[in-house]
Structure 1
Amino acid sequence: MSEGLIETVAAVIADSGGRVLLVRKQGSDTFIQPGGKREPGEDSLRTLARELREEIGVQLVPGSAVRLGEFEARAVHEAGMRVRAEAFLVRVEGRPEAAAEIAELVWIDPRDPGEVNVAPLSRLHILPAFLATSEDAA
């Protein structure tokens, strides 16, 4: 039996110290990138802008998105599914705060998240892509 696929758009938001923001949904113990599923007629950046506003109360800075790639891994919130995310490094305006289905925010060192339970999609794919991009820019 093949796994189903969930298509999403994910944001990498880094602070001035290089830490990356992750979110935890209510009822979950796993942290993921902010973002979510497209609604009909939305492109990736409109989806991201809407999800960031709804989930963490920030505004996507126009023109700031840098595409990191498209990545796929086992879904942590939907049993038997895989998730594919188009990930973007973005800048935002405002102070992130948990809203909607988000229970908690955490800023992590992308090289060493410590005890934070980071989803495979972020840990294995998105965070390494961010680190490679930030090292290329350095």
Structure 2
Amino acid sequence: MPQAKTFKFAAPAATDLPDDYSRLSQLLSVDVTDELNLAEHISAGLPLDVVSMLTNAGIKRSEIISLVAPARTLQHRQSKGEPLNPEESERAVRLARIITQAESVFGDRTDAITWLRRSLLRFNGKSPLDMLRTDVGCRLVENYLIEIDEGYAA
């Protein structure tokens, strides 16, 4: 009878994490080890520190207000010491993932942020940041970044 294979199911060590998870952890102010862990953070609500981290990464406050949560909501959460709710957390993750992916493609955060703000014909004159308002728009930006990275897009 053949020997059954055994599999070890253990969380990867911090040094084994993909670079994207490491950068995502920095932007989100939480330790991200895998997709399930990320989903749990989103459900629990990300800490409000994520707003500062995204701002430090080069995202303007007006962009955060437009893409994550209204200014009044952020102000309320700060005064009450509350985290973002799951929907706001999901939008913050969407933004952080695209920043991380663009940074990986362009090799530099400044270049990535500049590209994210650029109006593109591919998106009918909208910027990639504008496209992040919806999940479908985000997937279009992700796909375009993959095309750029693989040399299919000019």
Asked if TM exceeds 0.5, the reply is: no
Whichever of the two has the greater Rg, that structure is 2
If asked which structure has higher relative contact order (CA below 8 Å, sep 6+), I would say: 1
Where is the helix percentage greater, Structure 1 or Structure 2?
Answer: 2
TM-score, structure 1 length as denominator? 0.29
Where is the strand percentage greater, Structure 1 or Structure 2?
Answer: 1
TM-score, structure 2 length as denominator? 0.27
